[in-house]
Amino acid sequence: MTPLLEVEDLRAYYRTEVYGISRTVRAVDGVSFQLERNEIYGIAGESSCGKTTLIKVISGTIKPPLRVESGRVCYHFEGRDVDILHTDRDELRTQVRWKEISYVMQGSMSVLNPVRRIIRTFEDIVGTHQGIPDRRAFLEHVREHVKTLGLPPDILNLYPHQLSGGMRQRVAIALATIFHPSLIIADEPTTALDVVVQRGVLQMLKDIQAESGNTVLLVTHDLAVHANVADRVAVMYAGRIVEEAPTEVIFEAPRHPYAQHLIQSLPVIGDKSSKGSLSGAPPNLANPPSGCRFHPRCPHAMDICRQRVPEMLTVGPRHRVACHLVEEAA
């Protein structure tokens, strides 16, 4: 089956010039992956590893100083293919965003207008992308939609500040799914919420995905969220994917030393042993280390790790790793 999205060897850099000094931040540097239909794909990795930059590029929201240097980003929607890096901005705005690709972001206030009732935000979005020829039918449709998602339709008459953080995030999800898009990109959707509310919001995302069979790209540094929600997980480090596998595989048998470290650091109830921390800090992407970018912090680093970028190897069903140790073992 054709994947929903193919990303090939994508390189996207921030190029800045301040007082005559040029700086290039290689935020996404050689990333390849595919999103399948009907899956929740998680992207994990610590702050500044390039997760948000990757989302900006694959959703076509590329603004200076961010530039795509090379690579390919191609969607295969129902009935049409869209090469996102070579599609006109207007077409992306009117034909692709919201209808085919929609977002749920941290905090939700970026999408909800604080001085307008919730229903007005629905009107603004649907009006811009599809038009509202029949207002009564539109109101009925929105009421039905929020009801299906388990929200009381009365919230449509409230202002965002009258809702709790969790409720606002559910409303943001309702907005993001009003056109039944092929892909929902959720960027840290539950980071600001407490655990109980978080569970409700994640369950809502899961239910929508199971019901509509679309694809969810879930970006969060929180591995517990991936463990609960994602079907597959990719771990990013310093602008590259270092490992990708079905969720149970990556949690039970990670192969990349960085992924192993992340997973071993997770707290386990009853385990009082101290968790080791990594030496050093994540690299500066304006001047990244040679070879494998993880080598300065890797407890198993070899000479070759300093010299050559490891290739992404397939080591099992839907399991890929970029590590010289794994290459050697193979």
Ligand X SMILES: Nc1ncnc2c1ncn2[C@@H]1O[C@H](COP(=O)(O)OP(=O)(O)OP(=O)(O)O)[C@@H](O)[C@H]1O
Q: Tokens for 111?
A: 């999408």
Terminal Cα distance for the chain, rounded: 29
Instruction: Kindly tell me which of 156 and 292 has the beta carbon lying closer to ligand X.
Output: 292
Instruction: Kindly tell me which of 49 and 305 has the beta carbon lying closer to ligand X.
Output: 49
Q: Tokens for 289?
A: 């280390």
> Around Cβ 6, how many Cβ atoms within 10 Å?
17
Ordered DSSP codes for 54-72 = HHHHHTT---TTEEEEEEE
Residues near ligand X, by CB under 6 A: 14, 16, 25, 27, 45, 47-53, 65, 221, 285
Q: Tokens for 296?
A: 């300065």
β-pairing, 40-44 vs 232-237, is: parallel
Rounded to a whole number of angstroms, the minimum distance from the CB of residue 23 to ligand X is 8
Looking at 130-271, list the stretches that DSSP marks H as alpha helix, in order from N- to C-terminal side.
135-148, 165-176, 195-212, 223-229, 247-252, 257-264
Whole-angstrom distance, CA of residue 168 vs CA of residue 27 = 31
Q: Tokens for 45?
A: 């990795």
Rounded to a whole number of angstroms, the minimum distance from the CB of residue 85 to ligand X is 17
Rounded to a whole number of angstroms, the minimum distance from the CB of residue 128 to ligand X is 26
Instruction: Kindly tell me which of 156 and 236 has the beta carbon lying closer to ligand X.
Output: 236
Instruction: Kindly tell me which of 53 and 169 has the beta carbon lying closer to ligand X.
Output: 53
Peptide bond into 65 cis (omega under 30): yes
Instruction: Kindly tell me which of 21 and 268 has the beta carbon lying closer to ligand X.
Output: 21
Rounded to a whole number of angstroms, the minimum distance from the CB of residue 93 to ligand X is 21
Q: Tokens for 109?
A: 């206030």
Rounded to a whole number of angstroms, the minimum distance from the CB of residue 53 to ligand X is 3
Rounded to a whole number of angstroms, the minimum distance from the CB of residue 180 to ligand X is 27
Instruction: Kindly tell me which of 48 and 212 has the beta carbon lying closer to ligand X.
Output: 48
> Around Cβ 21, how many Cβ atoms within 10 Å?
7
Instruction: Kindly tell me which of 62 and 302 has the beta carbon lying closer to ligand X.
Output: 62
Chain position whose Cβ is nearest to ligand X: 52
Rounded to a whole number of angstroms, the minimum distance from the CB of residue 322 to ligand X is 17
The pairs formed by 196-203 with CB atoms below 8 angstroms and a separation of 24 or more are 197/164, 197/165, 197/166, 197/169, 198/166, 198/225, 200/166, 200/170, 201/166, 201/169, 201/170, 201/173, 202/228, 202/229
Rounded to a whole number of angstroms, the minimum distance from the CB of residue 191 to ligand X is 9
Instruction: Kindly tell me which of 24 and 38 has the beta carbon lying closer to ligand X.
Output: 24
Whole-angstrom distance, CA of residue 121 vs CA of residue 111 = 8
